[in-house]
Copies of this chain bind each other. A is one copy, B any other.
Amino acid sequence: MDIFDIAKLAGVSRKTVQRVLNDSPQVRTETRERILKIMEEHQYQPNVSARRLVKKKTHTIGLFIIQDPGKDRIYSDDLFYSVVIGAVINACSLRGYKVLVTMAEVDNPSPVLKLYREKSIDAGIIISWSSVQSIVDEILSANFLVGVFDQNNLTHRTSSIPMPVLENEASAMEATRHLLQLGHEEIGIITGDQDNPAAVERLNGYQKALKEAGIRVKPEYIYTGRFVEESGRDAVHHWIRQGDLPSAIFCSNDHIAFGALKALKEAGRDVPRDVSLIGFDNILLTEYTSPALSTMNVPRVEMAVALVEELIQRVEGEPYETMSPFQATLVIRNSCLEKKA
């Protein structure tokens, strides 16, 4: 069943059928409807491969999940990106694009390049916990189009790569201000990996908020950790050992907050009565801990949608403007309380 068969059945030329497919106006309504009915009856759908071959467009976006043996595996350990993946797929679909999902290892990006070269995709989006600078450089130097979801995956930004930007500093300020407003003055921070720009920016935001409130930044209250649970535990143990546990802690991500929460409980400290805890990211888990964790919600869906929008606009050669930066917003649950008198 091809376009020619439809034409024969309808008693018109192939061209007329083509016009119907293209929503071209120059077909009489009557004829158009007859043709549409025949297509419907025969479940006709134009062959995608044939169309792609001549149009040189695939209407397909490659979603590259770049795994790193050393990090959380997206799709198994990871609780942050599944929402993003879903949002990307939905957003593409709304724009009439299909999504080809591929997993690749960070040190072997050749499957990704292959997809571009064999013309399976028009553009790609990278999701990863690692630096993907080298992959991106390769894609760019081959003159293909790629977007990156997370600004921390790249060491140098460039306008040629669509990428949503999260204002980490301002968001961290907001988290810290929340603790300040509850009357806390002894506020600690457990930072993320210091080679990660987001970690540094969040630390800066914390410091700014304290200064803004006229509170001295106490170096002892800055615990340099990594973006993992273990750092939360370590920090709490450290502070308890020093006999100087802050009354509120800003955890640079939710995983750190889980670690801190567990360690505090084990040490017989109640959250939030003895210590207030706030996280960052708002991963799904935060609703399930007890107490449920207050945190900063990263607008992952909006960021994903904006990324897809800009990428597709570029693919289609439409005018586009780079996305405006995103802010995380405070989600108040049950892990923060007013400072005890």
A284 close to B (CB within 8 Å):
yes
The answer to whether A120 and B75 have CB atoms under 8 Å apart is no
Measured CA separation A85–B86 after assembly (Å): 11
A305 close to B (CB within 8 Å):
no
Interface centre among A82, A93, A118 (most CB of B within 10 A): A82
Q: Which secondary structure dominates chain A's binding surface?
A: mixed
Of B58, B288, B290, the residue contacting A285 (CB under 8 A) is B288
A90 close to B (CB within 8 Å):
yes
The answer to whether A82 and B93 have CB atoms under 8 Å apart is no
The answer to whether B47 and A53 have CB atoms under 8 Å apart is yes
A341 close to B (CB within 8 Å):
no
Which stretch, A10-18, A100-108, A324-332, touches the partner chain B? Answer: A100-108
Measured CA separation A226–B60 after assembly (Å): 39
The answer to whether B100 and A100 have CB atoms under 8 Å apart is yes
Of B48, B78, B142, the residue contacting A119 (CB under 8 A) is B48
A216 close to B (CB within 8 Å):
no
Measured CA separation A117–B41 after assembly (Å): 13
A 29-63 contacts with B by CB, 8 A: 43-50, 52-53, 58, 60, 63
Q: Residues of B contacting A99 with CB < 8 Å? A: 100-102
With A75-B83, A82-B75, A86-B74: A120-B100 Cβ-Cβ less than 8 Å: no
Of B43, B58, B79, B289, the residue contacting A284 (CB under 8 A) is B79
| This protein's copies in its complex | 2
A interface, how many residues as a size bin? 35 or more
Of B77, B93, B284, the residue contacting A103 (CB under 8 A) is B93
The answer to whether A114 and B289 have CB atoms under 8 Å apart is no
Measured CA separation A47–B98 after assembly (Å): 18
A 90-137 contacts with B by CB, 8 A: 90, 93, 98-103, 111, 113-114, 117-120
Measured CA separation A265–B101 after assembly (Å): 42
Of B73, B77, B102, B118, the residue contacting A46 (CB under 8 A) is B118
Q: How far is the CB of A218 from chain B (nearest CB, A)?
A: 30
Of B75, B83, B101, the residue contacting A76 (CB under 8 A) is B83
Q: Residues of B contacting A113 with CB < 8 Å? A: 43
Measured CA separation A253–B264 after assembly (Å): 29
Q: Residues of B contacting A120 with CB < 8 Å? A: 48, 98
A178 close to B (CB within 8 Å):
no
The answer to whether A75 and B48 have CB atoms under 8 Å apart is no
Measured CA separation A81–B49 after assembly (Å): 31
Q: Residues of B contacting A288 with CB < 8 Å? A: 258, 285, 288-289
The answer to whether B76 and A86 have CB atoms under 8 Å apart is yes
Q: List 16 A-B contacts (CB under 8 A).
A: A47-B53, A48-B120, A49-B49, A49-B53, A50-B53, A73-B86, A74-B86, A75-B82, A78-B82, A79-B284, A98-B120, A100-B101, A258-B288, A285-B288, A288-B288, A288-B289
Question: What 9 pairs between A and B have smallest CB-CB spacing?
Answer: A75-B86, A45-B117, A45-B118, A49-B52, A49-B53, A48-B118, A49-B49, A82-B82, A48-B120
Q: With A47-B119, A48-B120 given, can you name 12 additional A-B contacts, CB distance below 8 Å?
A: A45-B118, A47-B118, A50-B53, A75-B86, A75-B89, A76-B83, A76-B86, A98-B102, A99-B101, A258-B288, A285-B285, A289-B289
